[in-house]
Structure 1
Amino acid sequence: INYEDLRRFYTAANGDFVAFLSSIKKTIKWRETYRILSPEELETWANMVFWHGYDLMHRPCLIVRLGLACSCLPSHDRPRFAQAVISQVEHGIMYLVSPENPEVTVLVDCEGLSPFKIPMQVMRSCSSLLQDHYPNRLGCLFVIRLPPVVRVIAQTFIQVLKPTTRKKLKIGGETYRKILLENIQTLPSYLGGDCRCTKCLNIGMDVKRPRMDQLNKLQTNEGVSDSEDTSELDLICQDDIDPSWSYDQVLRTAIIGLLMFWVLIAVMAGLSDPEFQSQ
């Protein structure tokens, strides 16, 4: 932890020295037990979470394919996906951000994510770790290809956020590509960009899951749980909203959508500023 890190923690604590000291101690203890994946290990997850170029503010962009992970990974592998996200954030902050602009941009791609199968445990884990150990690092959060019901709820709730907060959160529906082109230098090819980097060539247009023989090599850590929520949210079928559904089914979908958006906001708050966290 360097001087600039201390400043960010102090700002996140709103000038409360006791809270500041407690957060520093908590982060030091966490770093002693949590295993950050090596670049070689992260290659296992390269099609689901990876750094790709910069936005127009010269902030490195982290691509998180949440929908793909949820549709491909069994529940017992999802905590390792969260570990890969946290590890990528660590590597990006260590090697990609500049002293002049220490923030990052995150793009969460929800294609394939059902409002009935939201990985709440994984998202809560990520948001908690980011908020505790990486404060004031988020420049912008793009959330694209959300399920329709979640997107409607998200657009409604965005209106009650403060202008500075709304500026950092961008929800993209069918026009997500236009929004990304206005903010990101080079889009990954799988999102319709013209990039031909090694990462894009490896990903292509195929939906692939990490090889199980590689996943099995990742050891369980004290800081990562192998358990995953197997509640009703994870067990209901993955069909989208159908006009023939009953009122209860539609209401339940809306509630789940609201919960998902709340967790996405929590993820953003974890990397954002004290003004955002106070909303």
Structure 2
Amino acid sequence: MDLQLKGKRAFISGSTQGIGLAVAKQLLREGVTVIINGRYAEKTQQVKEKLQEEFPEGSIAAIAADFSKKEDVEYLLAQVQEVDILVNNVGIFEVRDFEAVTDEDWYRYFEVNVMSSIRLSRKLLPGMLNKKWGRIIGISSESGVNVPGNMIHYGMTKSAMAAVANGLSKLTKATEVTVNTVLGGPAYSDGVATVIEQIAAMQQMNVGEMKTAVLQQSSPEILLQRFIAPEEIANLVTYLASPLSVATNGASLRVDSGVLRIV
């Protein structure tokens, strides 16, 4: 299927690893000019070079910026010009008891996970509306619907992302601009892999066995009976970026393998 994306231009926040990197690769396969973003300049440049090796015909740029630092955000916004596709992916997460999360932690999570998408959307949505075509896609989580008791601070931000996206979609009437949210299920991202590897090492367990144990404890109802691959989430994101998805707007779409028990 031709997704009609050749020649489009995309910016993906937090795209040096995990779901963001998977999205970048899928869009490059479709002929999209891609701007990746990471927290650290050296790593961001290294990922850009690796992508260029994998996609020698691809058009790839990179902008390093830490969304927890105001000066980095200001630099990023000055560098990012008009794009066709904005993927608000950057985010931080951490398992922590509610009473241990400080005011500063709450502000930090909101700053990175929510304000990043607000600032980027505020900068780039007007250009999309002006030309009457564009895509804004937020990478949220099933945790934004079924908020985990040990990650309330994280789930709150994912709920807020979906709320902002739904509101923004109301501004797109009579255009082919769409704003949607993807609710990812338990994905084996780099961050999750690191945590599982650390726990496995501490408990002297095989990583594969630990993956199974963690999944069975946290999401025993997942229909795949395994972690979701970042590429499987990126597949839906790529479709939503396409002109073919024009009738899908203001929606929250699930890639959760049945974790959310809702119709």
Q: Same fold (TM over 0.5)?
A: no
Shorter-chain-normalised TM-score: which range? Answer: 0.3 to 0.5
Give the TM-score normalised by structure 1.
0.31
Give the TM-score normalised by structure 2.
0.32
Greater relative contact order structure (CA < 8 Å, 6+ sep):
1
Higher strand proportion (structure 1 or 2): 2
